[in-house]
Amino acid sequence: MCGRFTLYSSATAIEQETGVEIPDISPNYNVAPTQFVLTIASNQEQTKAGFLKWGLVPSWSKDPSVGHKMINARAETVDEKPSFKKLLERRRCLVVADSFYEWKKEGKEKQPYRIMLNEEQIFTFAGLWDRWEGEEETITSCTIITTEANELMQDLHHRMPVIIPKNRREAWLHPNTSKTEVKAMLEPFESGQMTAYPVSRDVNSPKNNTPELLEKH
Protein backbone atom coordinates (compact mmCIF):
# COMPACT_ATOMS: atom_id res chain seq x y z
CA MET A 1 0.00 0.00 0.00
CA CYS A 2 0.98 3.65 0.16
CA GLY A 3 -0.05 5.46 3.32
CA ARG A 4 2.60 8.13 3.76
CA PHE A 5 5.08 10.01 1.56
CA THR A 6 7.13 13.19 1.30
CA LEU A 7 7.29 16.23 -0.93
CA TYR A 8 9.85 18.74 0.25
CA SER A 9 11.28 19.73 -3.15
CA SER A 10 10.84 23.32 -4.26
CA ALA A 11 8.22 24.42 -6.78
CA THR A 12 11.06 25.36 -9.14
CA ALA A 13 12.58 21.87 -8.95
CA ILE A 14 9.18 20.26 -9.52
CA GLU A 15 8.54 22.50 -12.53
CA GLN A 16 11.90 21.52 -14.02
CA GLU A 17 11.11 17.83 -13.53
CA THR A 18 7.52 17.86 -14.78
CA GLY A 19 7.43 20.76 -17.21
CA VAL A 20 4.27 22.03 -15.50
CA GLU A 21 3.77 25.33 -13.67
CA ILE A 22 3.56 24.57 -9.95
CA PRO A 23 1.69 26.68 -7.37
CA ASP A 24 3.34 27.75 -4.13
CA ILE A 25 4.04 24.73 -1.98
CA SER A 26 5.39 24.18 1.53
CA PRO A 27 7.76 21.28 2.36
CA ASN A 28 5.98 18.26 3.78
CA TYR A 29 8.08 15.48 5.27
CA ASN A 30 5.13 13.36 6.35
CA VAL A 31 2.24 13.58 3.91
CA ALA A 32 -0.74 11.68 5.31
CA PRO A 33 -4.24 10.71 4.12
CA THR A 34 -6.89 13.47 4.19
CA GLN A 35 -4.20 16.10 3.54
CA PHE A 36 -4.07 17.99 0.26
CA VAL A 37 -1.46 16.63 -2.14
CA LEU A 38 0.12 18.11 -5.25
CA THR A 39 -1.28 16.49 -8.38
CA ILE A 40 -1.05 16.97 -12.12
CA ALA A 41 -3.99 16.33 -14.44
CA SER A 42 -4.69 16.93 -18.10
CA ASN A 43 -7.39 17.24 -20.71
CA GLN A 44 -7.05 17.70 -24.46
CA GLU A 45 -6.37 21.40 -24.00
CA GLN A 46 -3.95 21.76 -21.08
CA THR A 47 -2.00 20.10 -18.29
CA LYS A 48 -2.28 21.72 -14.87
CA ALA A 49 -1.06 21.20 -11.32
CA GLY A 50 -3.15 21.70 -8.21
CA PHE A 51 -4.02 20.27 -4.82
CA LEU A 52 -6.44 17.42 -4.22
CA LYS A 53 -7.55 15.80 -0.97
CA TRP A 54 -5.91 12.41 -0.51
CA GLY A 55 -8.65 9.83 0.00
CA LEU A 56 -11.05 9.37 -2.90
CA VAL A 57 -14.67 10.40 -2.48
CA PRO A 58 -16.59 9.06 -5.52
CA SER A 59 -18.97 11.54 -7.11
CA TRP A 60 -21.91 9.21 -6.38
CA SER A 61 -21.05 8.57 -2.73
CA LYS A 62 -23.67 9.41 -0.11
CA ASP A 63 -21.08 9.89 2.63
CA PRO A 64 -17.84 11.85 2.01
CA SER A 65 -16.19 10.12 4.98
CA VAL A 66 -15.64 7.12 2.70
CA GLY A 67 -12.49 8.91 1.53
CA HIS A 68 -10.67 7.77 4.67
CA LYS A 69 -10.86 4.20 3.37
CA MET A 70 -9.96 4.93 -0.24
CA ILE A 71 -6.42 6.24 -0.19
CA ASN A 72 -5.29 3.41 -2.48
CA ALA A 73 -6.68 1.48 -5.46
CA ARG A 74 -5.36 -1.96 -6.46
CA ALA A 75 -3.92 -2.12 -9.99
CA GLU A 76 -5.23 -5.64 -10.45
CA THR A 77 -8.88 -4.63 -10.01
CA VAL A 78 -8.91 -0.90 -10.69
CA ASP A 79 -10.68 -1.42 -14.02
CA GLU A 80 -13.41 -3.50 -12.35
CA LYS A 81 -14.37 -1.65 -9.15
CA PRO A 82 -17.28 0.82 -9.49
CA SER A 83 -15.37 3.50 -7.59
CA PHE A 84 -12.41 3.44 -9.99
CA LYS A 85 -13.43 1.97 -13.36
CA LYS A 86 -14.69 5.14 -15.04
CA LEU A 87 -11.95 7.22 -13.43
CA LEU A 88 -9.27 5.00 -14.98
CA GLU A 89 -10.78 5.85 -18.35
CA ARG A 90 -11.15 9.60 -17.96
CA ARG A 91 -9.77 10.97 -14.68
CA ARG A 92 -6.18 9.88 -14.33
CA CYS A 93 -3.68 12.08 -12.52
CA LEU A 94 -0.12 12.10 -11.22
CA VAL A 95 0.64 12.59 -7.53
CA VAL A 96 4.02 14.27 -7.05
CA ALA A 97 6.47 12.95 -4.42
CA ASP A 98 10.18 12.67 -3.67
CA SER A 99 10.06 9.63 -1.35
CA PHE A 100 7.57 7.45 0.49
CA TYR A 101 7.44 5.44 3.70
CA GLU A 102 6.65 1.81 4.34
CA TRP A 103 6.62 -0.23 7.55
CA LYS A 104 8.47 -3.55 7.88
CA LYS A 105 7.22 -5.95 10.52
CA GLU A 106 10.05 -6.86 12.89
CA GLY A 107 8.81 -9.16 15.63
CA LYS A 108 5.96 -7.42 17.42
CA GLU A 109 6.93 -3.97 16.11
CA LYS A 110 7.02 -2.25 12.77
CA GLN A 111 10.09 -0.37 11.57
CA PRO A 112 9.44 2.50 9.13
CA TYR A 113 11.60 2.77 6.03
CA ARG A 114 12.07 5.61 3.60
CA ILE A 115 12.02 4.60 -0.08
CA MET A 116 13.23 6.84 -2.89
CA LEU A 117 14.85 6.83 -6.30
CA ASN A 118 18.62 6.36 -6.26
CA GLU A 119 19.44 10.00 -7.04
CA GLU A 120 16.60 11.31 -4.87
CA GLN A 121 14.77 12.54 -7.96
CA ILE A 122 11.23 13.83 -7.89
CA PHE A 123 8.81 11.19 -9.18
CA THR A 124 5.09 10.70 -9.75
CA PHE A 125 2.58 8.13 -8.49
CA ALA A 126 -0.25 6.90 -10.68
CA GLY A 127 -3.44 8.44 -9.35
CA LEU A 128 -7.15 8.80 -10.04
CA TRP A 129 -9.32 11.76 -9.10
CA ASP A 130 -13.01 12.60 -8.72
CA ARG A 131 -15.24 15.47 -7.65
CA TRP A 132 -17.99 15.08 -5.03
CA GLU A 133 -20.61 17.80 -4.68
CA GLY A 134 -22.65 18.11 -1.53
CA GLU A 135 -25.17 20.70 -0.45
CA GLU A 136 -22.59 22.72 1.47
CA GLU A 137 -19.23 21.68 0.06
CA THR A 138 -17.41 20.28 -2.95
CA ILE A 139 -14.56 17.80 -2.45
CA THR A 140 -12.06 17.14 -5.20
CA SER A 141 -10.04 14.13 -4.13
CA CYS A 142 -7.65 11.44 -5.32
CA THR A 143 -6.33 7.96 -4.68
CA ILE A 144 -2.93 6.37 -5.39
CA ILE A 145 -2.79 3.12 -7.34
CA THR A 146 -0.73 0.28 -5.87
CA THR A 147 0.67 -2.91 -7.37
CA GLU A 148 2.67 -5.95 -6.27
CA ALA A 149 6.05 -5.20 -4.69
CA ASN A 150 9.26 -5.23 -6.71
CA GLU A 151 12.37 -7.05 -5.47
CA LEU A 152 13.47 -4.17 -3.26
CA MET A 153 10.06 -3.69 -1.68
CA GLN A 154 9.30 -7.37 -1.10
CA ASP A 155 11.43 -7.33 2.04
CA LEU A 156 9.32 -4.49 3.45
CA HIS A 157 5.77 -5.05 2.20
CA HIS A 158 3.91 -7.07 -0.44
CA ARG A 159 2.50 -3.93 -2.11
CA MET A 160 3.96 -0.69 -3.45
CA PRO A 161 2.65 2.45 -5.16
CA VAL A 162 2.72 2.55 -8.94
CA ILE A 163 5.38 5.01 -10.09
CA ILE A 164 4.88 6.38 -13.61
CA PRO A 165 8.29 6.88 -15.31
CA LYS A 166 9.02 10.27 -16.83
CA ASN A 167 8.73 8.98 -20.39
CA ARG A 168 5.20 7.68 -19.71
CA ARG A 169 3.70 10.62 -17.82
CA GLU A 170 2.26 12.32 -20.89
CA ALA A 171 0.61 9.10 -22.07
CA TRP A 172 -0.78 8.40 -18.58
CA LEU A 173 -2.44 11.80 -18.47
CA HIS A 174 -3.66 11.93 -22.08
CA PRO A 175 -7.40 11.22 -22.27
CA ASN A 176 -7.05 9.28 -25.52
CA THR A 177 -4.52 6.74 -24.27
CA SER A 178 -6.01 3.26 -24.74
CA LYS A 179 -7.08 1.07 -21.84
CA THR A 180 -4.47 -1.49 -22.86
CA GLU A 181 -1.69 1.10 -22.69
CA VAL A 182 -2.94 2.44 -19.37
CA LYS A 183 -3.09 -1.01 -17.78
CA ALA A 184 0.43 -1.77 -19.03
CA MET A 185 1.74 1.15 -16.97
CA LEU A 186 0.44 -0.32 -13.72
CA GLU A 187 3.52 -2.40 -13.05
CA PRO A 188 6.19 -2.41 -10.33
CA PHE A 189 8.92 0.18 -10.79
CA GLU A 190 12.43 -1.09 -11.52
CA SER A 191 13.95 -2.03 -8.17
CA GLY A 192 17.49 -1.26 -9.34
CA GLN A 193 16.54 2.40 -9.57
CA MET A 194 15.35 2.59 -5.96
CA THR A 195 16.86 2.51 -2.49
CA ALA A 196 15.49 2.19 1.06
CA TYR A 197 16.71 2.72 4.60
CA PRO A 198 15.20 2.73 8.13
CA VAL A 199 14.04 5.99 9.67
CA SER A 200 12.80 7.16 13.06
CA ARG A 201 9.48 5.87 14.37
CA ASP A 202 8.56 9.53 14.78
CA VAL A 203 7.18 9.23 11.25
CA ASN A 204 4.39 7.08 12.71
CA SER A 205 2.55 10.24 13.76
CA PRO A 206 1.48 12.75 11.07
CA LYS A 207 1.93 15.42 13.74
CA ASN A 208 5.68 15.04 13.26
CA ASN A 209 6.75 16.88 10.15
CA THR A 210 10.41 17.92 10.16
CA PRO A 211 13.51 17.25 8.00
CA GLU A 212 14.83 14.95 10.75
CA LEU A 213 12.30 12.33 9.60
CA LEU A 214 14.47 11.78 6.52
CA GLU A 215 17.55 10.79 8.54
CA LYS A 216 18.78 7.22 8.55
CA HIS A 217 18.34 5.29 11.83
User: Among candidates 79, 83, 92, which has minimal Cα distance to 61?
Assistant: 83
Residues 33, 15: Cα–Cα separation, whole Å: 24
- Which residue in 2, 17, 93, 142 is the catalytic one? 2
Cβ partners under 8 Å of residue 78, min gap 6: 84, 85, 88, 128, 145, 186
**Rounded to the nearest 5 degrees, what angle is found at the Cα of 23, between the Cα atoms of 22 and 24?**
120
Check residue 154 and report its DSSP letter.
G
Q: Is 2 a catalytic residue?
A: yes
Q: Is 142 a catalytic residue?
A: no
At 181, give phi and psi (nearest 5°).
-65, -40
Residues 118, 122: Cα–Cα separation, whole Å: 11
At 66, give phi and psi (nearest 5°).
-60, -20
Strand partners, 146: 74, 161
Radius of gyration of the chain measured on its C-alpha atoms: 17
- Which residue in 21, 102, 133, 151 is the catalytic one? 102
Annotated active-site positions, please?
2, 102
